[in-house]
Homo-oligomer: A and B are copies of this chain.
């Protein structure tokens, strides 16, 4: 219904108002949103937690343009390529908006001939997907990426990426979560022993990737119906991807699987999975990590470990079984991507993680609204006010002194504002102090400082005012 109403309003707006007024639609593009001051306050809290973690792990930061040459993005995203936004050909180069931060990172490494780098990058990416804004799915959204590039001993950087996801999700207190882990080599080995032809590996992988949203029956019929896989192969895949169990047990079982153990790729992947869990055990985080053969990830470029973090339904939400409320982070190893850009095919192995924060915002926004906590959207320490008329010049002189001393100060942009309105402004915006200039105070060389919370007023000598404001507004 809401959709229909929006459509009608849009049509009405397009037809124009009563007086031949603007005929355009007053909105942001489909799947995008503005961030008002309150939303920005939440957003900055989340960014600050994430950036702290990335810096704690020694990452540098880079930035790349919002668009890339179209050909830079071609052939990297498999079936998702249709979701890329292209720019209009206005003469010159053909450009596309970036779809993620991973491909621009690989392009950056190849272009600058970088062999080793640990970097983070926080920026917006663009996907012409069906938006579901209430659930935090947008066409313009932030990704917070951390990646480690370089030739290293197996699974050490991979384990660190999982540690990072664990730290960030714990820190943000979003409730219970699980990080699913799998390996593209295990999947590919599994496809091989199930009789999937090589040419169908990636497309069958896309089908498996849907298992977190639709039941096996549907995925199976997509494989057989749309993608032309033999029913026998599909059934064999079904047996594997529906396996569950504790990680050590599952790894051992697969290592002893008569078919899988004969496959070189799968064996390699399982060996590394064992090593990964050893490192995760040392980090003390295996409690939230689950080896899951049904995890496939949509993107073409992964070559090794893949993972995805999912928030779980809260207990107090009174649902009988734990239901996923969706993915908030994902990543994996992509050892071939940089080589696709390098003129000589030089390879730089990479592993990384991407935190998607729109869903996290939605959750924190709802939490905050429920809590009725009042968020300040400015940091103003003092309002410069006057008690009588004709003191605009004095207010301007004082506020200028305060700004020059680094004090965060505001005043009302009126020649003769009423004192009551000035005090009300402090109440509304949370400004803790008022510096009041008046005829008598000017004569005495003082300023009356009012503490908004207690209504206490003290006369402060003008030359001590800055220090007094600093003391009274310093964080304990």
Say yes or no: is A256 at the interface (Cβ < 8 Å to chain B).
no
Say yes or no: is A407 at the interface (Cβ < 8 Å to chain B).
yes
Question: Is there contact, CB below 8 Å, between A409 and B56?
Answer: yes
CA distance A26 to B396 in the complex (A): 54
Say yes or no: is A380 at the interface (Cβ < 8 Å to chain B).
yes
Question: Is there contact, CB below 8 Å, between B86 and A62?
Answer: no
A126 proximity list for chain B (CB < 8 A): 66
Q: Per a CB cutoff under 8 Å, which of B21, B85, B150, B379 touches A345?
A: B21
Say yes or no: is A243 at the interface (Cβ < 8 Å to chain B).
no
Q: A153-B415, A340-B22, A344-B17 are in contact. Are A59 and B400 (CB under 8 A)?
A: no
Contact string against B for A residues 170-206, beta-carbon threshold 8 Å, 1 for contact and 0 otherwise: 0000000000000000000000000000000000000
A454 proximity list for chain B (CB < 8 A): none
Binds B, one of A33-41, A234-242, A290-298, A435-443: A33-41
Say yes or no: is A471 at the interface (Cβ < 8 Å to chain B).
no
Say yes or no: is A3 at the interface (Cβ < 8 Å to chain B).
no
Q: A17-B344, A63-B35, A340-B22 are in contact. Are A55 and B152 (CB under 8 A)?
A: no
Which residues of A in the span 59-82 have a Cβ within 8 Å of any Cβ on B? 59-69, 71-72, 74
Q: Report the minimum CB–CB distance from A83 to chain B (whole Å).
A: 10
Question: Is there contact, CB below 8 Å, between A393 and B29?
Answer: no
Say yes or no: is A287 at the interface (Cβ < 8 Å to chain B).
no
Binds B, one of A276-284, A302-310, A352-360: A276-284
CA distance A27 to B157 in the complex (A): 28
Question: Is there contact, CB below 8 Å, between A410 and B32?
Answer: no
A344 proximity list for chain B (CB < 8 A): 17, 21
Say yes or no: is A473 at the interface (Cβ < 8 Å to chain B).
no
CA distance A27 to B110 in the complex (A): 10
When all copies of this chain in the complex are counted, the total is 2
Which residues of A in the span 318-365 have a Cβ within 8 Å of any Cβ on B? 340-345
Question: Is there contact, CB below 8 Å, between A414 and B153?
Answer: yes
Q: Report the minimum CB–CB distance from A62 to chain B (whole Å).
A: 6
Say yes or no: is A216 at the interface (Cβ < 8 Å to chain B).
no
Question: Is there contact, CB below 8 Å, between B112 and A400?
Answer: no
Say yes or no: is A93 at the interface (Cβ < 8 Å to chain B).
yes
A210 proximity list for chain B (CB < 8 A): none
CA distance A173 to B427 in the complex (A): 37
A403 (CB) vs chain B CBs: closest residue: B56
Q: A21-B345, A40-B62, A403-B163 are in contact. Are A107 and B284 (CB under 8 A)?
A: no
Query: Other CB < 8 Å A-B pairs besides A85-B87, A156-B413, A157-B413, 5 of them?
Result: A34-B62, A34-B65, A37-B119, A40-B63, A67-B140
